[in-house]
Amino acid sequence: MDSGLDFLNKIHDRIPVSLEILPPNRGLGLDAIHSFFEGLKPWKPAFVSVTYHQAFKVEENESRIWNRKKPGTIGVCAMLKFQYGLKVIPHVICGGFSSFESEDFLVDLDYLGLDTILALRGDPKKGDAEFKHHRDGHRYASELVDQVMRLNMGEYMEDVKEAKSTSFVVGVAAYPEKHREAVSLDVDIQNLRNKVNAGASFIITQMFFDNQVYFDFVERARNAGITIPIIPGLKIITSKRQVEILPEIFHTKMPADLCSIIQRCENDFEATEIGIKHAISQFKGLEEYGVPCIHLFSMNNLTPITSLLKGVQRI
Ligand code: FAD
């Protein structure tokens, strides 16, 4: 039976490599994204996932207005699919969406033939300490996965005669070092299992800087009965400051020796060189372990991605 996971097939017997990109900031247009993908040619990623950014409220002239820094997720996805012929995976979040609005979003994706998604809860809105769900929306990603699976069975929010079933393949996120809100890694893995039971077919992990963390996590997930592919997420360090901010934002530890080498760098250029070397070593270790795919958090930054791909003989 077709699992919908063909994009994880090996290419020339080599482990596939995928990319995460961000839509441009409001008003900047697509030039930088075109340059990024033109710069990678003729190499093609196994898939490109495109982030989604929730709107947040800002105070301006004593009134509160909504702002979304990076609109355009669906547009970027459609452009990459039709103009570059890429397999594209939009991120779909719960935050800010009622279930009806989630359904409308999914209908648009279905009409565009974007049949694989990454279902996420979303982070707390900028300025909020905790995640607040839409009062008519989902609290957890598992509920969104469940909604997508119901659409796959032709069950819409309203009764529809002769409804057309969608055929979404759904990925979800996981955190090898535990999601920051989870009381323990075991509880987090149980919650991950709920997402798999709801219908997820693949997992993409948060970044980590020590492969052993991922290997241990995969073992624990397998012991908990999770059998679907667990794709490691890999981030290249590109500045001295990231040694402090990445662990803070993404709740990941950085190996002490890596931290001290980067802290001793004169500037960000040197830090990036170290970051690329470290990412190449992580990449090779993950390849050797036999991961299903390696997902690069590109931050739309062509130069380090190209250096990494050269370093692992992909381009
Ligand atoms: P969930 O799986 O819902 O889990 C959230 C927390 O709730 C966890 O602590 C979990 O253990 C707990 N939990 C789950 N179910 C239950 C339950 N039934 N009862 C009690 N507790 C429960 N954010 C964005 O806003 N946009 C993006 O594009 C984006 N892309 C991402 C891509 C990747 C690869 C990753 C790893 C993260 C991404 N994020 C993105 C961040 C993500 O939205 C946040 O980490 C968010 O805080 C959690 O999302 P989740 O889907 O893992 O949530």
Q: Whose CA is nearest to atom 28 of ligand 1?
A: 51
pLDDT of residue 19: 98
Which of ligand 1's atoms lies nearest the C-alpha of 206?
A: 36
- Is the Cβ atom of 259 under 6 angstroms away from ligand 1? no
Residue 160: other Cβ atoms inside 10 A:
10
Residue-range domains of the chain with CATH: 3-311 (3.20.20.220)
- Is the Cβ atom of 141 under 6 angstroms away from ligand 1? yes
Select from 45, 17, 25, 295 the least CA-distant residue to 173: 295
pLDDT of residue 1: 54
pLDDT of residue 62: 64
**How do beta strands 88-93 and 294-297 pair?**
unpaired
- Is the Cβ atom of 121 under 6 angstroms away from ligand 1? yes
User: What is the pTM assigned to this prediction?
Assistant: 0.97
pLDDT of residue 56: 81
- Is the Cβ atom of 181 under 6 angstroms away from ligand 1? yes
Select from 9, 6, 18 the least CA-distant residue to 314: 18
Give 165 Cα–ligand 1 centroid separation in angstroms.
26
- Is the Cβ atom of 50 under 6 angstroms away from ligand 1? no
Q: What is the DSSP string of 205-240?
A: EEE-S-HHHHHHHHHHHHHTT--S-EEEEEE---SS
Give 66 Cα–ligand 1 centroid separation in angstroms.
23
pLDDT of residue 67: 83
Select from 16, 14, 10 the least CA-distant residue to 293: 16
Q: Which residues of the chain have pLDDT under 70?
A: 1, 59-65
pLDDT of residue 64: 64
Unique residue bearing structure tokens 């594209």: 88
- Is the Cβ atom of 54 under 6 angstroms away from ligand 1? yes
pLDDT of residue 127: 81
- Is the Cβ atom of 235 under 6 angstroms away from ligand 1? no
Which of ligand 1's atoms lies nearest the C-alpha of 119?
A: 51
pLDDT of residue 60: 65
The strand pairing partners of 116, in sequence order, are 169
- Is the Cβ atom of 208 under 6 angstroms away from ligand 1? no
- Is the Cβ atom of 144 under 6 angstroms away from ligand 1? no
User: What CA–CA distance (Å, rounded) separates 305 from 291?
Assistant: 19
- Is the Cβ atom of 93 under 6 angstroms away from ligand 1? yes
* 254-257-260-263 Cα dihedral, nearest 10 degrees: -60
Give 142 Cα–ligand 1 centroid separation in angstroms.
9
Query: Number of helices (H) and strands (E), helices first, in the chain?
Result: 10, 10
User: What CA–CA distance (Å, rounded) separates 85 from 91?
Assistant: 18
Q: Nearest 5 degrees, angle CA 270-CA 271-CA 277?
A: 95
pLDDT of residue 58: 72
